[in-house]
Amino acid sequence: MKTTFKDAAEALWQLLDDIDTQDDACRDNDALFRTRVRELQKKREDWAVSSDGQTLEWAFEEMLKDSWVLSELENENPEVGARYEDDDGWWVRQGPMKWRRE
């Protein structure tokens, strides 16, 4: 489940790293490199989309709400195992800035 901007940053960074790896792996085969990168770059839309190439829209609106909720919870419930209920169910604290839905 995608729940934090850190998850998005790590996933997008991994895509960049995967593309860099393909550059090394396909050093002498430009067509293969392009094919593999086209497949990899499709994964970016799991996290963010841009219809005009200039504006970035997060592909996970719920995550934006949850990120705000999580920062509020962090201040109010610092102990591991703390529980918080909102309109969609329960949050349970797993550690610093680590909450999961129950």
- The domain spans of the chain are 1-59, 60-102
**68: pLDDT strictly greater than 70:** no
Confidence of residue 5 (pLDDT cuts 50, 70, 90): confident
State the pLDDT at residue 35: 97
Share of the chain above pLDDT 70, in %: 66
| Prediction pTM value | 0.54
CA 9 from chain centre, in angstroms, equals 6
**1: pLDDT strictly greater than 50:** no
Of 59, 69, 94, 60, the C-alpha closest to 79 is 94
The larger pLDDT score, comparing residue 51 to residue 26, is at: 26
